Structure 1
């Protein structure tokens, strides 16, 4: 999957992830002046991440990494700034000489699952050189169907699924060694669980980085969502002194932010329905709804309230319908509404 091929206005879940990232940075801004940071990331042809980071936080020093010269031409056309530097390089190439002086925000937004091994090496390299209060955000492709495997020339139909599952598991373990969780099974590489396996692999990867005795990488948030049919996993964290963790929590109040993942539980799902303006207006009349505690009962209760208000289901599947209504109630405040305008 190449995210650059997907119109930005159709990527609602990713847009919510971006907004949550900005919210998190605003909280970190209480302990460190984010507007003085440098932002390094992948812009895509639309450069929306860079625009939002600058407009919302006042960040001026920005570096956009792009390997495709044709895409870079489009980026330059869509977003020009004297504070923005375009670099024709991969993250691997850029990190070889990366010397983060001053505060840094680094977003490694990966989409190609076959390069997972190298991506983990990039993540280790980044964490190894980032300084206290520097921020790292990582997005990984969590779609197991994109994991390649060796398929025999002749396969009995009854054995196809087994061979596929075993092949994907073998490939994953080879790509992620030595960071893959122990005792993985075929079920750990399936669609409903693979993002959890990937999250555990990420945690093993970062914990293996040799930092100074009083420093570590603190995960602050973790989400998973579908983007053009592919599930993505996105994780944000900060380099901290262990002795300053309590002070950091007190000043940022991240523990009171409902989307945090300080305890490194399973990533939170972002799954917004595609709604018309009229449908949103009707649902918003019911807001806010209590979406806690996280449970199937809460999900059903919220979904029942919103479905009754709307008068119909969003999709045919009852389970998926409940999840969509519940997610809307959880993210309605930051859910974007894309509309056509004439210029």
Structure 2
């Protein structure tokens, strides 16, 4: 799967929502006292967006593959951007040095995971990251929201092996271990984002309890679910002090009210001409849109959902322009 976000509209919208949220969080903050840290990928798309849109110039990126890190250095938005080779598990121990090197007192960190085989370990890494952050910091995690592999059913007791969702629930319990919400009822793939959010809530509650004076708490600001090369779930979390400060930016139109509040992103794939034209038809319902165009922009079963998603997130969709760099 290519890493070009403009050919993956749901992922593009997800990233744009996150970038705008960060801008709202920093509205009363000195931007030069803040650093953005993430797995930048070879194109450094989110680092470039954070620099251009929010003015964050203190940037840190990492990856386990040396060749990707070399590409990150080439594509970095500023010559001062730091790109290093290491794992996500090693990041929390490096945060103090990163803060000192970049001379910042506030961090925004995104751990962007892929694959559904090691999600329990990924959440354990994210918990260690949360433990290492301070009030005012922002932590974001992206997780594969697929059901476990069917092949794993063979290792389950025979009495539930042939019952699909009870089997999936049992496999999730094995995979997520201490983060698994045992009372969760799994009935379809559509329950996975809610399940992962419940895992994160449990994780955050356990992490906050490690601070006996109640000095730290974790509040979800944005949760999303979308289909890319695989179903994906993201959560952006604000670290707050004992007084619940800093507050989440109430001017952000997609702010989560609680852990159950998840934005579903299902925007249609459109040409630039269609996107421009549809921006003027936001007062139409799905049938009115089809009547205006003379054709559907999505399959019949998806039409209503995709049009609703377009109307809600249309300003975040990618713009396709032909550019030559000589």
Q: For the superposition of Structure 1 and Structure 2, which TM-score range results when normalised by the shorter chain?
A: 0.7 to 0.9
Q: Quick check: 1:133 aligned with 2:136?
A: yes
Could you say which residue in structure 1 is the equivalent of 2:281?
286
Q: What is the TM-score when the length of structure 1 is the normalising length?
A: 0.83
Structure 2 Cα separation of the partners of residues 195 and 338 of structure 1: 30
Give the match's secondary structure for 1:192: helix
Could you say which residue in structure 1 is the equivalent of 2:247?
248
Shift of 1:195: 1.4
Could you say which residue in structure 1 is the equivalent of 2:92?
95
- Give the CA RMSD over aligned residues: 2.5
Structure 2 Cα separation of the partners of residues 10 and 172 of structure 1: 31
Structure 1 Cα separation of the partners of residues 6 and 161 of structure 2: 36
Could you say which residue in structure 2 is the equivalent of 1:180?
180
- 4+ residue stretches of structure 1 with deviation over 4 A? 145-148, 163-167
Which is further off, 278-287 or 165-174? 165-174
Structure 2 Cα separation of the partners of residues 6 and 143 of structure 1: 20
Cα shift readout 1:238-276 (whole Å, capped 9, x = no counterpart): 11124244x725xx3x2x432110322231111111111
Give the conservation status (yes or no) of the 8 Å contact 1:39–1:105.
yes
Could you say which residue in structure 2 is the equivalent of 1:239?
239
Query: Which residue of 83, 86, 93 maps to 1:86?
Result: 83
Q: Quick check: 1:342 aligned with 2:324?
A: yes
Shift of 1:160: 11
Structure 2 Cα separation of the partners of residues 89 and 147 of structure 1: 32
- 1:201 and 1:160, CA in 2 relative to 1: closer, same or farther beyond 3 A? closer
Shift of 1:284: 1.4
Give the conservation status (yes or no) of the 8 Å contact 1:149–1:164.
no
Query: Which residue of 198, 202, 212 maps to 1:200?
Result: 198
Q: Quick check: 1:221 aligned with 2:231?
A: no
Name stretches of at least 5 consecutive residues in structure 1 with no aligned partner.
Answer: 290-300
Structure 2 Cα separation of the partners of residues 233 and 140 of structure 1: 5
Aligned pair count? 314
Query: Which residue of 124, 142, 146 maps to 1:143?
Result: 146
Could you say which residue in structure 2 is the equivalent of 1:74?
71
Query: Which residue of 277, 280, 295 maps to 2:272?
Result: 277
Q: What is the TM-score when the length of structure 2 is the normalising length?
A: 0.87
Structure 1 Cα separation of the partners of residues 298 and 41 of structure 2: 31
Structure 2 Cα separation of the partners of residues 86 and 163 of structure 1: 47
Give the conservation status (yes or no) of the 8 Å contact 2:48–2:77.
no
